[in-house]
Every structure is written in C-alpha cells, then in structure tokens.
Amino acid sequence: MNGDTDLAAVGALVGDRVRAAILLCLLGGGATSASDLARAADASPSLTSAHLKRLREGGLVEVAASGRQRLYRLASVEVAEMLETMQLLAPATPVTSLRGANSKRRLRRARMCYDHLAGVLGVAVTDGLVRRDALHPETLALGTGAERVLAEVDVSLAVLGSAPRPVVRACTDWTERRPHVSGGVGAAVAAALLDRQWVVRRTGSRGLDVTADGAVGLEGWLGIRLTQQTAWQESA
C-alpha cells in the first residue's frame, strides 16, 4: 500500500443503485424520513434501512431525532460537493416516460445543490451577481459591490465572514456545465430567496419552483428574466 486514501471505500458506498438514489434525494439539503427515502429509491423499507446504516457507518449520512421520527441528511457540505462533481462524469439515466422527462426538465430549471441554488436558476443568479459587481466574473470571488447588493436581500457579509466555511466558492453545475456560486454566499442567497418565498421547494424533490413574487423580485434585484433565457425555455 502507498499510504493514500481509500477511495474505493467511498466508491463502494456510492456504487449501489439504492444508495445512489438515497444520496441524490438528500442532495436537496433537507432532512428526510426513511419512508420517504424508500419511495424515492423505489426500495422496500427494510432494504432502505440497511443501506442507510451503511451510509451512516461510511460517514456520508447522519441522522437526527425529530420527536418520534428519525430524519436523515447528508453528513456535510463536502459530501454534497463530491456528489455534484460525480454527476459531471456520470452518464444520464434513460428517460422512459413523459413523467420522467418532465421531472428531468423541471429539475434542470431550478433545484437545491445541498444548501445553494443550482440549475438554470442557480447560474442565472450567479450571472446576475456578476453583472452587479457582487462577484468577480472569472473567479467568483467577492466583488466591490458585494456588501451592498447582498444587503438588499438581508444577507450580511460580516456574519458570513465569521463562519468556518469559505465565504464564496464556485461549484460547477452538472446540468449547465457552468459555475454557480456556493459557499456561505450561495447558502445565504438560497435561504433568503426561500424565506421571501421567491422560490419554494417542490414536495418530494430537490427541485424548486419560482413563484410570481420571485419572478418580480429576481428581476428587480438582479435584472433576471428567466422566461427570456434560452436554457429556461428549453427546460420548461
């Protein structure tokens, strides 16, 4: 042995259809019950329970009690980033129904990548922040207008700067093949849009829907007109 990390151990955890489906469901960042995960993975409750045990032992998933219910979520931001990166390399799953095709298109439009925005929406928000000098166009580092622009949606850079995670990072979007903003800024922007109900979570999915108020708010804040974007129209 050469003393390197045991990459195969992580690969074995992800390399099962049921476990992969569970991890993708949890990639939306929410805490989810075992029964909901079983439905998402199209697996029996007992099989899902066994797979969740392996994922917990492998450090990819954690569990917390909520009353009498046990809720599961990804163990860390690093796990989410690993899964998003793997999706860049993974082949697309075949679509065999109209329902599946619609779900795939809607997931591309807007979704959560753990705790930040992804898909067409995530890239559009990132581009809007770049246009307003809140982010640097090449590196997505903070720009000269970052404090002012983010304060417009009640995001405080001072608070983000005191957190242990990076204030801003670039995450390559697996459907758009372009960077979207993650890190503290990405998470705070997503939380702000959810709090204002500019976007709402889609039940049983990591997908998001932009509300009528959100369409107005995004245009006023960042000049985003999603319906005029080719990628949004293609995924409609």
Residues 47 and 160 grouped into a single domain:
no
Burial degree of 109 (CB within 10 A; 0-12, 13-18, 19+): buried
Structural domain including 32 reads 7-75
Total of domains in the chain: 2
Q: In the structure, what pLDDT confidence band is assigned to residue 3 with cuts at 50, 70 and 90?
A: low
Residues 119 and 214 grouped into a single domain:
yes
Q: Mean pLDDT over all residues of the chain? A: 90
Residues 218 and 103 grouped into a single domain:
yes
Of the two residues 6 and 2, the one the predictor is more confident about is 6
88, part of any domain: no
Residues 120 and 226 grouped into a single domain:
yes
Q: What are the residues whose beta carbons fall under 8 Å from the beta carbon of 142, sequence distance 6 or more?
A: 134, 135, 136, 157, 167, 168, 185
Residues 181 and 230 grouped into a single domain:
yes
Question: Would you state the pLDDT for residue 102?
Answer: 75
Domain boundary among 41, 60, 75: 75
52, part of any domain: yes
Residues 103 and 214 grouped into a single domain:
yes
Q: What are the residues whose beta carbons fall under 8 Å from the beta carbon of 183, sequence distance 6 or more?
A: 116, 165, 166, 167, 168, 169
Q: What is the pLDDT of residues 17-55, one digit of tens each?
A: 999 999 999 998 888 999 999 998 999 999 999 999 999
Question: Would you state the pLDDT for residue 34?
Answer: 93
206, part of any domain: yes
Q: Is the pLDDT of residue 1 over 60?
A: no
Q: What is the pLDDT of residues 76-102, one digit of tens each?
A: 888 988 998 898 888 877 777 767 677
Residues 200 and 165 grouped into a single domain:
yes
Question: Would you state the pLDDT for residue 154?
Answer: 96
Q: What is the pLDDT of residues 97-146, one digit of tens each?
A: 767 677 788 889 999 988 999 999 999 999 999 999 999 998 999 999 99
175, part of any domain: yes
Of the two residues 229 and 56, the one the predictor is more confident about is 56
Q: What is the pLDDT of residues 185-210, one digit of tens each?
A: 999 999 999 999 999 998 777 889 99
Which CATH number covers residue 53?
A: 1.10.10.10
